[in-house]
Amino acid sequence: MRASGMASEAVSAVEATSNDVRRDAVREFKRQLIRDAAKRIFAENGIGEASMREIAKGAGYTTGAIYTYFATREELYADVLRDSLQVLYEEVETAIAAVSSNRAVAALRGLWTFYNSRDADFSLGFHLYGGARPVGLTPELNGELNALLDKVMTRIGEVMIDDGLAMEANAHHLAVSHATSVFGLLLMRKTGRLSSLNEDADRLLATYFTTLTSRTADNADTANESREYPA
């Protein structure tokens, strides 16, 4: 009798666990539908103009239903951008792991490929800023998202050191400098400016990488300014 009761309890526990797993999976599926809709709308309109009602409609839910998953529009925006930056890091890491040399070029090309093939992610990141100020996010959320992007820059800096293109003291500065050049080229391509100048983005990128890899550990050393840059 006791054995039967224990078996029944065990079955109930398994069923409860299975129900929890199923419920969590459904909840995550719904959150992803909301994130996907929000990414499209944020990319098109920016955080300032997008509304929860519009996002709810795009996800196939009521506005009230969205608030059970995300308390504010800013929280939703941060969640979408957080996911984008995490995938960016993973793709840069994958690009680095795929080669045994010129890993800094691979990392920067991974950065390029990610945003070049994802217009929504590119727009999403740059809609965060209005002028020089972050728009609509709390200092805590803004700090978290900046830290995720900085993680990518730090990784690029690490492989620049490995390739002899930087030293520890200036690796982060140089990584941000090179990433900024990649972002600039992306902006020129996505706004059609390169076409108006009769230039090809891939060719310009190849020229830039050739210039980058021609640098040596010695000239990286002379570029070291001990990170004394304006805050």
pLDDT in tens, 52-110: 999 999 999 898 889 989 988 888 988 998 999 999 999 999 999 999 999 999 999 99
* Model pLDDT for residues 201-219, shown as the tens digit of each residue: 999 999 999 998 886 444 4
Q: Among 88, 103, 110, 91, which Cα is nearest to 212's?
A: 103
Residue 58 phi/psi, 5-degree rounding, is -65, -30
pTM strictly above 0.85: no
Rounded Cα gap, residues 102 and 165, in angstroms: 10
